[in-house]
Amino acid sequence: MSADLSVYKKDFPIFSRSVRGGNPLIYLDSGATSQKPEVVIQAEADFYRTKNAAVHRGAHLLAEEASDAYESARENVARFIGAASSEVIFTKSATESLNFLATSFGNPDSGIAVKPGDEIVVTEMEHHANLSPWQQLAKRTGAKLTWLSITAGGRLDLSNIDQVINSKTKIVAITHQSNVFGTVVPIDLIVKAARNVGALVVLDACQSVPHFAVNVKQLGVDFLAFSGHKVLGPTGIGVLWGKSELLEKLEPAIFGGSMVDSVTMDGATWAQTPRKFEAGVPNMAQAVGLSAAVDYLTKIGMPNLAQHEHKLTEELLAGFKEMKEVTVVGPLDMKDRGGVVSFTVDGVHPHDVGQVLDQYGIAVRTGHHCAWPLMKKLNLVGTTRASFHLYNSSEDVSSLLKAVEKVTQYFKVSK
Amino acid sequence: MELDSLYQEVILDHYRTPLNKGLSSEKDIQVHHNNPSCGDEVTLNLTMKDGFVKQITWDGVGCSISMASTSVMSDLLSGKEYQQAMKVLEAFVELMQSKGQSKGDEELLEDGVAFAGVSKFPARIKCALLGWMAFKDASTQVMA
């Protein structure tokens, strides 16, 4: 029996508005971005109202309080993922986190630089954000990009893992949970294969950190990235976590104020991590907002949230199973699976599916989900994707199933 | 309901039975256009003769709006003098930018007026214009 989380929906002001057709909002697009509870909106606004000043500069009281709020946010977010606060770098997004990493690995001055002949391993189910930066890094450095394939069932094909992750492999950059399939990747096996050959593991945790308890120490990965806006937090804030001894070896990706130890007209030395990776005045209010978001989620309990989404996913998969026009793209069972369900409706393009659902107030994602190579591999133009979070309910699942039925009627799909 | 203003029966008919779909073996030019935000693709073959649009054939994958619109375009512009075809194209683009305020010139646009409702849905305007922009690109290249 999972905990009743329906009481929390009222914490999200957006659900008080109506959408197209005067319908209440049924938001099933949390895989793209999550909605924000009032406490997060308040925390962000309160920073501007009461503490606003540039952090780590200035001798005045506001600067002190702003710095304190920002560094407390760092400690709090670090605690949320089981990390030390000195290992948590605030970025503007997960995309920026991954790009920073790829840039730093490409700097020959980095103690762990990628060199010609090295191999970088990704998978066929990466989001563009965890693919393009590595493609570019390979291109810049003369390294080779290789990848693990997927199975027909939407899981990672690990049958040739020992060939793909080999003695030339320097970095394995991999998603924790597919944003298309919902598949949760067996990170323990990836870490083991990487350790055997001395490669580093970079985890794209955008779809995992917001939905179940993630502990960087337990995972055993070397770097991890996620975005604040999917964790009920504000936009404009992301996290890059790395093991401190590795962060020490990396050159920063961007340069400027606040990240230096000393500067002359000829050059500069860097501050300690994490500061050396945070050039310029950071997104302070957003960091504080993210901190409020993780407090909120901690209070609810990540295991409760995971259980809640598990139940909704199970209900949706069961409903789709009864509909012959609907094909689920991704795992059909609940083993190692998160609350993201991609599907196609026979004879109806995803964009048209989304349009009809919108008419019933249901917000879903349609298209290639920033995973174009994966869509090509599956021979699909795209899918319709429903993704869950805290504020969703069994009623939302029923509404979706009913509306998909309407889609097939509207486009006169017959099979 | 609001949806019916978007999905006119004419549009659904063209989607189910598209005209001029299937690429001709002969052509003056072939262009390929896509919509990176949703992945819709159109390949268009164009033959011009003596300043007239002789033949438009196409192939593609996409939503009902993009496929139906390309079908309507290929039917409407075939046989037209180049300047006239461009005039129709401009009228269609204008209709798409009308934010639901225009019904469209039926004499000029014929089945194309069925897309008037699309202009109320900003995310779908690009779908409706995909094939038309492919034609514009192809014809401009041939006429250059």
The tens digit of pLDDT for each residue in B41-68 reads 999 999 999 999 999 999 999 999 999 9
Band the pLDDT of A411: cuts 50, 70, 90. confident
Interface residues on B facing A, Cβ-Cβ cutoff 8 A: 1-3, 6-7, 12, 37-40, 61-65, 67, 121, 124, 127
Asked whether the beta carbons of A38 and A250 are under 8 A apart, the reply is no
CB contact, 8 Å: A20 with chain B? yes
Q: Are residue A287 and residue A350 in the same domain, yes or no?
A: no
Q: In this predicted structure, what is the pLDDT of residue A283?
A: 97
For A97-112, what is the mean pLDDT? 97
Nearest by CB to A349, which of B1, B2, B62? B62
Cβ neighbours around B25 below 10 Å, total:
6
3-state SS class at B67? helix
**For residue A199, which amino acid is it?**
A
Same domain, residue pair A310 and A288: no
> Confidence band (pLDDT; 50, 70, 90) for A368?
confident
How many CB atoms lie under 10 A from the CB of residue A116?
9
The interface predicted TM-score (ipTM) is 0.87
The residue-averaged pLDDT of B104-127 equals 94
| Mean pLDDT within B21-31 | 97
Alpha helix segments (H runs only) across chain B: 2-6, 9-16, 64-77, 82-96, 106-109, 122-143
The yes-or-no verdict on residue A356 having pLDDT over 70 is yes
In chain B the first and final C-alpha atoms are separated, in Å, by: 45
- Residues A64-89 pLDDT 10s: 999 999 999 999 999 999 999 999 99
Q: How many CB pairs under 8 A join A and B?
A: 48
The shortest C-alpha distance from B131 to chain A (Å) reads 17
Separation in Å, CA A23 to CA A10, A27, A401, B21: 17, 12, 16, 38
Residue A349's domain comprises 6-30+302-410
pTM of the entire structure?
0.93
Mean pLDDT of A214-235: 98
A326 and A263 housed in the same domain: no
pLDDT attached to residue A369 = 86
Helix (H, G, I), strand (E, B) or coil at B13: helix
Q: Indicate whether A1 pLDDT > 60.
A: no
Nearest alpha carbon to residue A232 among A309, A310, A290, A303: A290
The label of the residue with tokens 């996409």 reads: B62
Is the minimum CB–CB distance between A115 and chain B shorter than 8 Å? no
**Touching check for A249 and chain B: CB below 8 Å?**
no
Q: Do you find a cis peptide bond into A274, omega within 30 degrees of 0?
A: yes
Distance CA B123, CA A355 (A): 10
Same domain? A344 vs A270: no
Mean pLDDT of chain B: 94
Among the partner-chain residues B2, B63, B67, the one whose CB lies closest to the CB of A21 is B2
What is the spatial order of strands in the sheet that A238-242 belongs to? A88-91, A238-242, A223-227, A200-204, A169-175, A119-123, A144-148
Mean pLDDT of B4-32: 94
Q: Are A358 and A398 part of one and the same domain?
A: yes
- Provide mean pLDDT across the span A27-53: 98
Q: Is A349 on the interface with B (CB under 8 A)?
A: yes
DSSP A284-316: HHHHHHHHHHHHHHHHH-HHHHHHHHHHHHHHH
Cα first-last separation, chain A: 37
Nearest to B21 by CA among B61, B59, B69: B59
The pLDDT assigned to A316 comes to 98
Closest CA to A74 of A245, A252, A273: A273
Q: How many domains does chain A have?
A: 2
pLDDT digits over A289-331, tens only? 999 999 999 999 999 999 999 999 999 999 999 999 999 999 9
Domains of chain B: residue spans and CATH: 2-143 (3.90.1010.10)
Please state, for a pLDDT cut of 70, what percent of chain B lies above it: 99
pLDDT of residue B20: 98
Query: Looking at residue A267, which CATH number applies to its domain?
Result: 3.40.640.10
Kindly indicate the confidence band of residue A413, based on its pLDDT and cuts at 50, 70 and 90: low
Contacts of B12 in chain A (CB under 8 A): 411-412
Which domain CATH number covers A316? Answer: 3.90.1150.10
Tell which of B6, B14, B17, B63 to mutate to test the A interface (max A CBs under 10 Å).
B63
Taking contacts as CB-CB distances below 8 angstroms, the residues of chain B near A355 are 3, 6, 121, 124
Boundary residue ending a domain (A277, A298, A319): A298
Q: How far is A316 from chain B (nearest CA, A)?
A: 24
Report the pLDDT value the prediction gives residue A415, as an integer from 0 to 100: 44
Q: Which residues of B touch A381 (CB under 8 A)?
A: 39-40, 61-62
Q: Check pLDDT > 90 for residue B81.
A: yes
Active site residues of A: 370
CB-based contacts of A40, cutoff 8 Å, min separation 6? A232, A233, A234, A289, A290, A292, A293, A296
Judged against a pLDDT cut of 60, whether residue A414 lies above it is answered with: no
